[in-house]
Amino acid sequence: MSGMRVDAKVVMLGKESVGKTSLVERYVHHRFLVGPYQNTIGAAFVAKPIQVGEKVITLGIWVRSHETLKSVKTKCILLSLICVFWSFLDLTDSSSFQRARFWVKELQNCEEHCKIYLCGTKSDLIQGDRSLRQIDYHDTQDFAEEIGAQHFETSSKTGSNVGESRHACKKIQTCVLAEETGVNLGQKKESYFYSCCNSN
């Protein structure tokens, strides 16, 4: 294998500490990391090869911290890859909904028909104590319908509904199979994280 192709670009956007990295950890490595919270500086990247029928395609998943949205917009225009954006909401933090709305608007200004998923996080916390819920499910669903997005609530801690997230990724794969685009990322053979500075 001379290098790794990325067939689709998936960009995780959301307020700091909303749970982007944890969802990727759960999806890619089937684990939830405990310990002190460490914020993402700039961005992180993980490549995830997935078998689709007879074929292996690779998702390039970028976790972006809030201050790098401008560069995401630029890349959205420049890259020929299929590009899908996930906008995250922490179900226990109402301000994360406002931030998600803002970013959706920004993304649509950049590319009107870009594919967006709305992902509520930390659902285990509200299952333990419903009074912690600060974002109403129906409000988010209404917003999702308004922008033509899909919406689901997940817990990276328990793995709840991450299967749904995986289902969403299968939709990405279908698009990728139709497009057959890719970019060489070098010699890496396994799923891996590395700093954003080298990810472009």
Ligand X SMILES: Nc1nc2c(ncn2[C@@H]2O[C@H](COP(=O)(O)OP(=O)(O)OP(=O)(O)O)[C@@H](O)[C@H]2O)c(=O)[nH]1
Using CB under 6 A, list all residues that contact ligand X.
14, 16-22, 37, 39-40, 63, 65, 121-122, 124-125, 155-157
Residue 156 CB, nearest distance to ligand X (Å)?
A: 4
Which CB atom, from 18 or from 81, has the smaller least distance to ligand X? Answer: 18
Residue 166 CB, nearest distance to ligand X (Å)?
A: 15
Please count the other Cβ atoms lying within 10 Å of the Cβ belonging to residue 83. Answer: 22
Which CB atom, from 134 or from 181, has the smaller least distance to ligand X? Answer: 134
DSSP 8-state assignment for residue 184 = B
Which CB atom, from 30 or from 37, has the smaller least distance to ligand X? Answer: 37
Token pair of 88 as six digits? 């995250």
Torsion sign across C-alpha atoms 107, 135, 15, 59: negative
Give, in order, the Cα–Cα distances in Å from 24 to each of 32, 34, 55, 146, 156: 10, 14, 22, 26, 8
Residue 51 CB, nearest distance to ligand X (Å)?
A: 26
Helix (H) or strand (E) holding 163: helix 162-179
DSSP 8-state assignment for residue 5 = B
Residue 3 CB, nearest distance to ligand X (Å)?
A: 27
- Round to whole Å and give the CA distance between 37 and 24: 15
Which CB atom, from 99 or from 176, has the smaller least distance to ligand X? Answer: 99
